[in-house]
């Protein structure tokens, strides 16, 4: 063909053409795949449509480069046939591979690996501009190469997403794998590919062909319950597009989390034990059950945080104190107060942070200082100065060695051992509202009233290196919190939204909009699956971080809620605010 490609053999044939294995004689007989489209038997309209679609596939593939996609080399017309030349992939389709497997299904860890690979390439397609929707993800369109490396093939019905378009021009997809919207009801979106992927994952786990019972998927075997994949698949396969995960990147993160928890199929037989609980409380308590209430403060609660061992609370207040108390018996353990200001009296304590070893805490105040206080002996170890304004936020790095605190437009990173400033960062004409260390202590998030969050890497030379800037909010940002995975971050603002985004790329992932007023505080569950958010509407709302679905609302505060913190074991939440009290209540 074209005096260049020598046919070696037939790979496969379909109703509209064939795929050949060929040698490129101009490039040392390099093996390629040649896709042929035959026009025989088509009327003029059908022929024009077929040529248009074939050219569209060629142009689409030509602009893509990814390890899980074949490269396009050439396309041409010869003797009434169109040809597309691309990488030859040695292997077999996932469909053929499944047919050879016992029960037509695969081991759990292999399914998760394939799911992560497919998420990677789909995320690449979905983040093109404009996004590319594959629309026909099924085992027959996936090649399995050497050592289980997957490739997406056959872009014949892939399309660009068009914002504002009500529905696709033509309904496309394969029965059983296609989402409901692919039947012409609404426009397909990246969430349509998520449904396709969910159908494939279910098939690989169960051996059931979804084409036999479209839109009906059986429950997974009981031994897979501990992995959490049943809930993920239920979300991915929701008939309502808005209830599916917001992005394939979120699905990938969930699968990676599953892989980390259950590395081998034998581990599926293990049951995850619940964290130990105080004997006076039962695990059967429902979400929102009030465990205890602490009412010893004389003014607003600015922050209430769990100790690392999950037994004590340090609550900071505008009454000028930090009080440490047992979360379950509400017995006070220690009382800290800063010195009175000459004119204004007791300074407001704006923020408090436990040391990772639980022996000390840092308290930031209107006194323009941060003090490190030893809980056991009740003494201030040292005082950190250098601010011209009230210090509004403090965060202790998980590595125990350093802290970050912010006052006015200035952020300090300082040594936890001797209190001296290591490095500083200033922003002109702005006020820093919150700071938060990443779980690996490498990055620092700085949120400001100018609607921006900056992610800085603290270099080995102890300098602020700007990594990411996020500016999708339309109001002053009040709080920022890292996910346990160290990749996602959530920010809350006066625009009544909490937005989840990738901290290292700045890519937006999800927006939660169920609050009626400014959001003042956010906290992630230890497993990263949920967020609790609170604000001026007096509620604390728990919601799913993958889908954005609301789970529960706690309404027992009288007035604005300024602080919310999830216990380290994931069992409880501490919340406080303008009613001068802290509630401890049952989480999920």
Q: Is pLDDT at 167 greater than 60 in this prediction? A: no
Give the whole-angstrom CA distance, residue 454 versus residue 191: 29
CB atoms within 10 A of CB 269: 9
Amino acid 573: pLDDT: 97
- Better-predicted residue by pLDDT, 429 or 415: 415
Q: What is the mean pLDDT of residues 222-230?
A: 80
Output the CA–CA distances (angstroms, integers) from residue 107 to 142, 198, 204, 490, in the order listed: 18, 16, 8, 35
Q: Is pLDDT at 170 greater than 80 in this prediction? A: no
Lookup result for tokens 């289980």: 148
Amino acid 264: pLDDT: 40
Percent of the chain with pLDDT over 70: 88
Output the CA–CA distances (angstroms, integers) from residue 361 to 7, 34, 49, 74, 364, in the order listed: 73, 67, 69, 65, 10
Model confidence pLDDT, tens digit, residues 550-570: 999 999 999 999 999 999 989
Q: Is pLDDT at 433 greater than 70 in this prediction? A: yes
- Better-predicted residue by pLDDT, 583 or 54: 583
Amino acid 342: pLDDT: 53
Q: Which of 3.40.1390.10, 3.40.50.300, 3.30.200.20, 1.10.357.10 is the CATH number of 5-87?
A: 3.30.200.20
Amino acid 22: pLDDT: 92
373: left (phi over 0), alpha (psi -120 to 50) or beta: beta
**Using a CB cutoff of 8 Å and minimum separation of 24, what contacts does 404-407 make?**
404/435, 404/437, 404/444, 405/362, 405/364, 405/370, 405/435, 406/432, 406/433, 406/434, 406/435, 406/446, 407/364, 407/368, 407/432
Q: Is pLDDT at 296 greater than 90 in this prediction? A: yes
The dihedral over CA atoms of 313, 315, 321, 323, expressed in degrees to the nearest 10, equals -20
Amino acid 504: pLDDT: 84
**Contact predicate 227/145, CB 8 Å:** no
Q: Which residues pair with 432 in a beta bridge?
A: 448
Q: Which CATH class is domain 92-162+172-266?
A: mainly alpha
Residue 451's contacts (CB-CB under 8 Å, 6 or more residues apart) are 471, 473, 474, 475, 476, 477, 493
Closest CA to 281 of 79, 87, 567: 567
Q: What is the mean pLDDT of residues 150-174?
A: 52
Write the DSSP symbol of residue 104.
G
- What Rg, from alpha-carbon coordinates, does the chain have? 28
- Better-predicted residue by pLDDT, 551 or 278: 551
Amino acid 76: pLDDT: 84
Closest CA to 320 of 280, 360, 279, 348: 348
**Contact predicate 377/384, CB 8 Å:** no
**Contact predicate 583/562, CB 8 Å:** no
Amino acid 19: pLDDT: 85
Model confidence pLDDT, tens digit, residues 81-135: 788 888 888 899 999 999 999 999 999 999 999 999 999 999 999 888 778 888 8
E strand map for 503-569: 508-512, 519-524, 530-535, 540-544, 550-554, 561-566
Output the CA–CA distances (angstroms, integers) from residue 421 to 172, 289, 388, in the order listed: 61, 43, 15
Residue 502's contacts (CB-CB under 8 Å, 6 or more residues apart) are 249, 487, 488, 489, 509
Model confidence pLDDT, tens digit, residues 330-364: 999 999 988 765 545 678 999 999 999 999 999 99
The dihedral over CA atoms of 537, 543, 548, 550, expressed in degrees to the nearest 10, equals -70
Amino acid 306: pLDDT: 97
Q: Is pLDDT at 588 greater than 90 in this prediction? A: no
Average pLDDT, the chain: 85
Q: Is pLDDT at 462 greater than 80 in this prediction? A: no
Amino acid 432: pLDDT: 94
Q: Which residues pair with 421 in a beta bridge?
A: 414
Q: What is the mean pLDDT of residues 394-404?
A: 93
- Band the pLDDT of 228: cuts 50, 70, 90: confident
- Better-predicted residue by pLDDT, 498 or 427: 498
Q: What is the DSSP string of 133-185?
A: E----SGGGEEE-GGG-EEE---TT-EE--TT--S-SS----TTTS-GGGGTT
Amino acid 142: pLDDT: 94
Where along the chain do its domains lie? 5-87, 92-162+172-266, 290-586
Q: What is the mean pLDDT of residues 272-277?
A: 28
Q: Is pLDDT at 45 greater than 70 in this prediction? A: yes
Three-state DSSP at 55 gives helix
Q: Is pLDDT at 46 greater than 80 in this prediction? A: no
| CA 179 from centroid of its chain's CA atoms | 23
Q: Is pLDDT at 500 greater than 80 in this prediction? A: yes
CATH superfamily, region 290-586: YVTN repeat-like/Quinoprotein amine dehydrogenase (2.130.10.10)
First to last CA, the chain: 64
Give the whole-angstrom CA distance, residue 213 versus residue 176: 7
Q: Is pLDDT at 174 greater than 60 in this prediction? A: yes
Q: Is pLDDT at 43 greater than 70 in this prediction? A: yes
Q: What is the mean pLDDT of residues 207-220?
A: 90
């Amino acid at each position: 063909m074209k005096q260049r490609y020598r046919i070696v053999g037939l790979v496969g044939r379909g109703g509209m053409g064939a795929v050949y294995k060929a040698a490129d004689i101009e490039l040392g007989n390099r093996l390629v795949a040649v896709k042929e489209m035959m026009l025989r038997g088509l009327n003029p309209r059908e022929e024009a449509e077929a040529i248009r679609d074939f050219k569209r596939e060629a142009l689409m593939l030509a602009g893509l480069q990814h390890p899980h996609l074949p490269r396009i080399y050439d396309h041409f017309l010869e003797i009434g046939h169109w040809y597309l030349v691309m990488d030859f992939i040695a292997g077999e389709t996932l469909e053929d591979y499944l047919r050879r497997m016992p029960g037509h299904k695969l081991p759990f860890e292999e399914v998760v690996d394939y799911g992560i690979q497919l998420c990677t390439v789909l995320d690449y397609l979905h983040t093109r501009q404009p996004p590319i929707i594959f629309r026909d993800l099924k085992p027959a369109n996936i090649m399995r190469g050497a050592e289980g490396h997957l490739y997406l093939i056959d872009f014949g019905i892939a399309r660009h997403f068009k914002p504002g378009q009500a529905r696709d021009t033509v309904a496309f997809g394969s029965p059983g794998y296609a989402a409901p919207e692919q039947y012409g009801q609404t426009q397909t979106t990246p969430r349509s590919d998520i449904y396709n992927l969910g159908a494939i994952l279910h098939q690989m786990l169960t051996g059931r062909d979804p084409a036999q019972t479209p839109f009906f998927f059986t429950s997974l075997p009981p031994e897979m319950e501990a992995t959490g994949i049943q809930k993920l698949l239920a979300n991915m396969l929701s008939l309502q597009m808005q209830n599916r995960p917001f992005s394939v990147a979120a699905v990938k993160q969930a699968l990676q989390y599953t892989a980390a928890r259950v590395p081998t199929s034998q581990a599926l037989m293990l049951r995850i034990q619940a964290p130990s609980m105080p004997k006076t409380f039962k695990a059967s308590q429902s979400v929102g059950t009030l465990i205890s209430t602490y009412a010893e403060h004389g003014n607003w609660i600015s922050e209430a945080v769990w100790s690392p061992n999950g037994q004590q609370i340090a609550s900071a207040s505008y009454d000028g104190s930090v009080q440490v108390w047992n979360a379950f018996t509400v017995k006070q353990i220690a009382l800290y107060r800063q010195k009175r200001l000459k004119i204004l009296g007791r300074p407001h304590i704006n923020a408090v942070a436990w040391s990772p070893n639980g022996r000390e805490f840092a308290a930031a105040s209107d006194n323009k200082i941060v003090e490190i206080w030893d809980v056991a002996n009740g003494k201030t170890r040292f005082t950190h100065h250098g601010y011209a304004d009230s210090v509004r936020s403090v965060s202790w790095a998980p590595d125990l060695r350093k802290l970050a605190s912010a006052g006015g437009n200035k952020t300090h990173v300082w040594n936890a051992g001797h209190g001296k400033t290591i490095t500083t960062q200033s922003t002109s004409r702005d006020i820093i509202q919150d700071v938060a260390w990443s779980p690996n202590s490498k990055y620092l998030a700085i949120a400001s009233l100018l609607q921006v969050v900056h992610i800085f890497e603290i270099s080995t030379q102890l300098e602020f290196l700007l990594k990411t800037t996020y500016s999708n909010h339309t109001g002053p940002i009040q709080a920022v919190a890292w996910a346990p995975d160290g990749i996602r971050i959530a920010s809350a603002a006066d625009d009544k939204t909490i937005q989840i985004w990738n901290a290292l790329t700045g890519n937006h992932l999800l927006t939660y909009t169920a609050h009626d007023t400014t959001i003042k505080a956010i906290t992630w569950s230890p497993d990263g699956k949920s967020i609790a958010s609170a604000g001026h509407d007096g509620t604390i709302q728990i919601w799913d971080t993958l889908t954005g679905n609301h789970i529960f609302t706690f309404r027992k505060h009288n007035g604005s809620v300024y602080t919310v913190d999830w216990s380290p074991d994931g069992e409880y939440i501490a919340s406080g605010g303008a009613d001068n009290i802290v509630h401890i209540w049952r989480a999920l």
